Chain A
């Protein structure tokens, strides 16, 4: 996983709430068995509308998405994170995220930043007025900066450390292999065994 320390980029304003994962990537795009190329499914239905914000050339190359509350609710499809990343996003800012989506994103190096609605409103106004305005997302300082304003954001220390080091969860867990084996040795006899 690529390390995430600080990211500076332009931002796309997505003025919608409850952007569920079926909107982020419709189910028909989930049939691939590889890990790449999901960008074509990102917001597939909405992108057919020429007026959709990400079709506006002014936001081409945006690497930060600024969305309304309840972004990423719904299904557990990690494809939603892959679609955003494959499209070129490294950060999504929203007042609130769906929980499974948030977990998935942080594991994949897509930083999901929760800012209050007021901050999101300010960012929307700023990048709509001037799409070339850059937004700086500083994970080390846990701070978003834009056009002379700054907002702190919360992220637990462990997720932050893992993102900043670019660490893989399985490798981290296997440090505890002895504990796993010890736990397995004392599982109750009535437990379910499939085979």
Chain B
């Protein structure tokens, strides 16, 4: 029978097939478990209480990212942040788990750290106590976020009970116009379908536009799958994937590489496989896209204006839009290009990779950050930071007046000191514009790295073409 990519990966990992009479979930084997300091402490506590061990420390890896400072590598000033990180260090030492701590060359945002070491490979099952685990789907892995109870479950058993999801295809046709990026594509898609459209589904992004994306671009797209409710967002592995992987620390070599390639090439969705739902998107008409509201589906082309909440078709959308423009302190009818920002944040698991930094640097090279605007560049990992410095990107940013910082989740969610002050407005390359996400009372516009850099120069939401 013809199967989708996700169905193949699923089938290859079923340890125990559910009995259908009580809709018991399948028990899936987990190939890689990523840990960070925020969602793991209670899971380790649970193991200790039950006298259980970590079944496979060799399939588990940890990093410090959510709480780490980005202004230095030595001092974690907030005592609760420090406790959380110290707890992870103790737990990893006690249970024999490899950890990339603050200051380690491989430390960084968990979803940047894994792929850059070649840990994320096609056909794997990957979980992490973090909803943006969908990022790893860009390699054709079945990767999804889990809660702390499930973290404990995977630590103890290396498996996870999972109910079979439905299959959804996003077919992206046409061609991305110049200056339009993977971030614009995914923001436009979420705006089109809404934040709940992917619920209950594993998504596969397909079509010529996806095939032409770099691995970084694919990761940006897969990363935001959860923002429209999808469990995971896969992209078929191809030569772009294999070229990216070859030679990385954990990529197979020699005969094992050949065996892996044979396996990976068998994974893409069979011709004739059926998806439960299909969504079509023509990329040719896309332009730089930003959000105006407080969920990632409340977005519009940069050339548009703040919408009138009363213009939405349902009362649910009207109520959400009314509340959003009030929270965002925006007036319907104001051109998005007239919205002034206080802070520009470039970073996160969505857009904190080398290609993203290159793109932002290219836009800001030889220009200056506008007066009164703070621009923070936070590389997704220490390795990305080192690569960027080797290319001289840090000099371009600092010459423009931007802050060149250390790696971490930083202002994406403001668990470390990198937060918006109440009432401040940001253009952010991160993934969530929720109320207070970047700091209590802060207002977030989600943008691409190119739009972020142009916005920093102009001081208002802008695209490179405006410069």
Contacts and interface: CB of A to CB of B under 8 A. Distances in A.
B260 A190 contact: yes
Contacts of B436: 22-23, 26, 45
B50 interface: yes
B157 A33 contact: no
B81 interface: yes
A126 interface: no
Interface string B417-447: 0000000000000001011110010000000
Nearest to A1: B149
B319 interface: yes
A81 B42 CA distance: 13
A180 interface: yes
A22 B437 contact: yes
Contact of B23 (A69, A99, A107, A157): A157
Interface in B7-32: 15-16, 21-25, 27, 29, 31-32
A31 B81 CA distance: 6
A141 interface: no
Interface string A176-193: 100110011001111111
A41 to B, nearest CB: 12
B316 A76 contact: no
B442 to A, nearest CB: 11
B365 interface: no
B435 A45 contact: yes
Interface residues of A, number: 59
A69 B161 CA distance: 26
A133 interface: no
B61 interface: yes
Contacts of B124: 191-192
A194 B147 contact: no
Nearest to A15: B319
A34 B59 contact: no
Query: Which of A78, A104, A161, A176 gathers most chain B CB within 10 Å?
Result: A78
Interface stretch (A54-62, A144-152, A167-175): A167-175
A98 B414 CA distance: 22
A140 interface: no
Contacts of B130: 75-76
B381 interface: no
Interface stretch (B171-179, B193-201, B276-284, B370-378): B193-201
A100 B146 CA distance: 7
A31 B37 CA distance: 9
B367 interface: no
Contact of A45 (B23, B84, B440): B440
A157 B22 contact: yes
B196 A107 contact: no
A35 B195 CA distance: 30
A107 B263 contact: no
B50 to A, nearest CB: 7
Interface string B322-339: 010000000000000000
Contacts of A20: 295, 432, 434
B435 A22 contact: yes
A18 B321 CA distance: 11
Interface stretch (B181-189, B203-211, B249-257, B459-467): B249-257
Contacts of B259: 188-190
A174 B320 CA distance: 44
A27 B257 contact: no
A35 B45 contact: yes
Given A69-B316, A180-B15, A194-B57, 14 more contacts: A18-B295, A22-B413, A22-B434, A23-B434, A27-B413, A31-B84, A68-B316, A69-B196, A78-B148, A100-B226, A158-B23, A169-B149, A173-B161, A188-B259
8 contacts: A20-B295, A20-B432, A22-B413, A69-B316, A170-B52, A180-B158, A184-B158, A189-B259
Q: Which 9 pairs between the two chains have the least Cβ-Cβ distance?
A: A104-B147, A78-B147, A33-B41, A31-B80, A76-B145, A190-B256, A78-B148, A190-B260, A76-B131
